[in-house]
């Protein structure tokens, strides 16, 4: 049987000792502590793992670092946007226990982010990463927690129009707008990087910023006019998703390819 103890702070500590295994967690409400304890007992009875290092999984920041190290161990790397998002979440929510990331706390976090200027898409991404971190800890390390509060918070924030999908683009920039942007960049004496050329190149090839900036000299074949794009973004698989594209003079924005690439 689990032991439930009311702490001086008013929180409840649940302790489970069963078949030689031990797990402990603290909750704001007694009912949450009882639900957690029953889940732990069922896991032990089924022979499932309970916890990895308790100190590592004590806070949300610890779970984030656990996620990072697990992916690094199998050769997976984070993109720039995901790394920045996890750093932000670790800074804002890292001191909280996983049990404290309940519906109320996530809704409060969402409102704070919205007041700070975060749009529905940005907040939706943040909540998605929170759920990924918790689900990873549960699936890979047997950390006993629930993501139900995250799902309910997302529904509530959706009703408040604080989370959502990005608006569909209904037009492209017109010729005059593009000309103004490129002219401004070309006439800026403080602009050291050839951003105007990169913009022309992006329009001509439909390549993403990271794809353009990571292109190498050896990726370009001047005889066939073909360029290799490494690890092109794909919703299912990015690593190893290399593609070759032709560099054709058809868009009106096709610069000479050579000025785009810089020796390493």
The pLDDT value recorded for residue 159 is: 93
pLDDT digits (tens, 9 = 90+) for 54-94: 555 678 998 998 888 888 877 777 777 888 999 999 999 99
**H helix runs in the chain, sequence order:** 30-45, 60-73, 80-93, 103-115, 120-141, 148-159, 175-186, 195-205, 209-213
Beta strands at 226-229 and 220-221: parallel, antiparallel or unpaired: antiparallel
Q: Report yes or no on whether pTM surpasses 0.75.
A: no
The matching CATH number, chosen from 2.40.30, 1.10.150, 3.90.25, 3.40.50, for 51-170 is: 1.10.150
> Rounded to the nearest 5°, which phi and psi values hold at 175?
-55, -45
Average per-residue pLDDT in the chain? 82
Among 127-136, 241-250, 252-261, name the most confident range.
127-136
Q: Which residues contact 130 (CB under 8 A, 6 or more apart)?
A: 60, 89, 93, 101, 106, 150
Enumerate the domain spans of the chain.
1-50, 51-170, 194-260
Put the strands of the sheet holding 220-221 in their side by side order.
Answer: 220-221, 226-229, 243-246
Indicate the pLDDT class of residue 237, thresholds 50, 70 and 90: low
pLDDT tens by residue, 187-230: 998 888 888 888 888 888 888 888 888 888 888 888 888 888 88
Say which residues have a Cβ less than 8 Å from residue 46's Cβ, sequence separation at least 6: none
Question: Can you give the pLDDT at residue 234?
Answer: 67
Rounded mean pLDDT, 113-131: 93
């Amino acid at each position: 049987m689990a032991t439930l103890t009311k702490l001086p702070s008013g929180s409840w500590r649940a302790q489970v000792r069963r078949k030689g295994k031990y797990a402990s967690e603290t909750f704001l409400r007694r009912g949450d502590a009882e639900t957690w304890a029953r889940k732990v007992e069922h896991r032990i009875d089924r022979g499932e793992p309970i916890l990895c290092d308790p100190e590592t999984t004590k806070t949300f920041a610890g779970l984030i670092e656990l996620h990072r190290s697990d992916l690094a161990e199998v050769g997976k790397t984070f993109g720039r946007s995901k790394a920045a998002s996890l750093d932000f979440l670790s800074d804002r929510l890292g001191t909280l226990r996983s049990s404290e990331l309940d519906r109320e706390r996530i809704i409060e976090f969402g409102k704070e982010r919205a007041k700070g200027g975060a749009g529905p898409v940005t907040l939706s991404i943040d909540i998605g990463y929170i759920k990924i971190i918790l689900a990873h800890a549960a699936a890979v390390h047997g950390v006993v927690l629930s993501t139900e509060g995250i799902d309910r918070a997302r529904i509530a924030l959706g009703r408040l129009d604080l989370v959502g999908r990005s608006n569909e683009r209904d037009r492209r920039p017109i010729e005059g707008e593009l000309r103004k942007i490129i002219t401004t960049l070309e006439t800026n004496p403080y602009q050291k990087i050839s951003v105007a050329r990169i913009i022309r190149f992006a329009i001509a090839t439909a390549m993403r910023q990271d794809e353009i900036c990571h292109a190498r000299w050896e990726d370009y074949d001047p005889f066939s006019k073909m360029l290799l794009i490494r690890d092109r973004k794909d919703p299912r698989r990015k690593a190893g998703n290399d593609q070759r594209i032709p560099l054709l003079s058809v868009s009106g924005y096709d610069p000479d390819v050579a000025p785009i690439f810089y020796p390493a």
